[in-house]
Amino acid sequence: MQTGKPFSLNEIGRRSNNEDSIFPPNNKADETTRFFIVCDGMGGHDNGEVASASVCNSFASFLKDVSPNDFNESIFNHALNFAFDELDKLDNDSESIRKMGTTLAFLFLNDNSAFMAYIGDSRIYHIRKNENSETSILYKSFDHSLVNELLHAEVITQEEAVNHPKRNQITRYISPNMERRSKATVHVTQDVQAGDRFLLCTDGILESLSDDRLLSIIAETDNDEAMINAIQALCKKNSSDNYSAWLVPIIDIESPQFFTKIKKTQLRHCKTAKQSRRGR
Residue 136 has a pLDDT of 98
Longest Cα–Cα distance of the chain, Å, equals 85
Measuring CA to CA, which residue among 37, 31, 35 is closest to residue 69?
35
Q: 115 has which bridge partners?
A: 108, 188
Q: What is the structure's pLDDT at 149?
A: 80
What's the pLDDT at 15? Answer: 93
At 280 the pLDDT is 43
- So what's the pLDDT on residue 160? 73
Domain ranges of the chain: 2-278
pTM: 0.87
CB atoms within 10 A of CB 115: 19
Are residues 67 and 85 in contact, defined by beta-carbon separation less than 8 angstroms?
Answer: no
| pLDDT of the residue at 151 | 78
Positions in the chain short of pLDDT 50: 257-280
C-alpha 1/C-alpha 216 separation (Å) is 25
pLDDT in tens, 188-206: 999 999 999 999 999 999 9
Q: For the domain 2-278, what is the CATH code?
A: 3.60.40.10
